[in-house]
Amino acid sequence: MPDPQTAAVAPLDPALMAEIEALRATTHTTRRATVSAMEDCLHVPFPVLDHGFIRVVDYMGDDGAIVQAARVSYGRGTRQVREDRGLIRYLMRHRHTTPFEMAEIKVHVKLPIFVARQWIRHRTANVNEYSARYSVLDREFYIPAPDHLAAQSADNRQGREGVVTGEEAAEVLDILRGDALRCHVNYERMLNAEGDGHDPTRQGLARELARMNLTLNTYTQWYWKIDLHNLMHFVSLRADPHAQYEIRVYAEVLADILGWWVPLTTEAFQDYRVGGLHLSRHALAVVRKALAGEAVAQADSGLSPREWRELWAALGQASSPES
């Protein structure tokens, strides 16, 4: 796990950088639970993609807050019986989710619009997004690095397969850069804002309309506030290998922050949620038979050929029993 004190820092516009330095230079005394690693990383903008970042703006609670809430639920007895780590693991294992809703975090995120559109589907969070009705979006677009120019899979409509290379890659990058730039130049022309290039004979199109000319790789930003339970849900879905690369890299930074913030909860999350395997009813029957030494075959397993292959791969068997 990276160390918040040595992690790379995203280059920001000087005004925001000065604001961040002022915030980091100011400390207060508090009676609230405080996490040392979070204090270290507070306000630090961790870079994501070519122009994005995530920075923690505030947090509430720590591993102890989960324990504290669980002990209200389970009453006096809990106080002596279990140490914190055991209680947190018990809660995670048995899906007692409400204590994990008792901690909260707020992050400032800069991200391409097409990533923002995926992200916002997680509704159990609070969001304040930069408004292009009121303000003008900067000329910043996401352009993939060459090794992330994923090619379309031929046999799986959702999938990627390898990367686009050579002349095709060069053309793709030219298109992405050229179209985003032209659209933004025309956006500013339609706005006809005060300042350089302002033409007093033109009225200027309303911001709320001009924005429709921007491409989906334009960067936006927001404040995003979420409780620990829902943050883990987000990370489990979006740090998954099946998630699109461009949102996965944000989820991976959030996973790092999770580890700094609530290390006991994160360990339990890894053990009981994301690091395991869910066996379907038919898969469970197959595993039971195999462990009992009985023969198993895809044909009468109730599993599709694909489920069969994926099951044995997940169980670490290079080849499935039938092959």
Runs of H (alpha helix) within 54-105: 63-74, 78-81, 84-93
Q: Does 114 bind a copy of itself (CB under 8 A)?
A: yes
Look at residue 222 and give its three-state secondary structure.
strand
Binding mask 213-242 for a copy of itself (x = CB under 8 A): xxxxx---xxx-x-x---------x-----
Q: Does 196 bind a copy of itself (CB under 8 A)?
A: no
Out of 238, 248, 273, 306, the active site residue is 238
Backbone angles phi, psi at 166, to 5 degrees: 60, -140
Verify whether residue 238 is a known catalytic residue: yes
Looking only at residues 4 through 63 of this chain, which bind a copy of itself when binding is defined by CB under 8 A? 23-24, 26-34, 39, 42-43, 57-61
Closest CA to 219 of 192, 246, 195, 255: 246
Backbone angles phi, psi at 53, to 5 degrees: -160, 165
297, 322 Cβ separation under 8 angstroms: yes
For a copy of itself, the closer of residues 221 and 298 by Cβ is 221
Question: Any bridge partners for residue 105, and if so which?
Answer: 59, 226
**Residue among 14, 147, 197, 281 that touches a copy of itself (CB under 8 A):** 281
Binding range to a copy of itself, per CB under 8 A, among 2-10, 47-55, 209-217, 251-259 = 209-217
Q: How far apart are CA 38 and CA 255, in angstroms?
A: 13
Closest separation between CB of residue 295 and a copy of itself, Å?
A: 14
Sequence length of the chain is: 323
Q: Does 76 bind a copy of itself (CB under 8 A)?
A: yes
Q: Does 83 bind a copy of itself (CB under 8 A)?
A: no
Binding mask 238-267 for a copy of itself (x = CB under 8 A): ------x-x---------------------
Q: Does 135 bind a copy of itself (CB under 8 A)?
A: yes
Q: How far apart are CA 76 and CA 82, in angstroms?
A: 11
User: Residue 160 is inside which H or E element, if any?
Assistant: strand 160-163
Q: How far apart are CA 287 and CA 301, in angstroms?
A: 10
**Residue among 7, 37, 74, 140 that touches a copy of itself (CB under 8 A):** 74
Q: Does 168 bind a copy of itself (CB under 8 A)?
A: yes
Q: Cite the active site residues.
A: 238
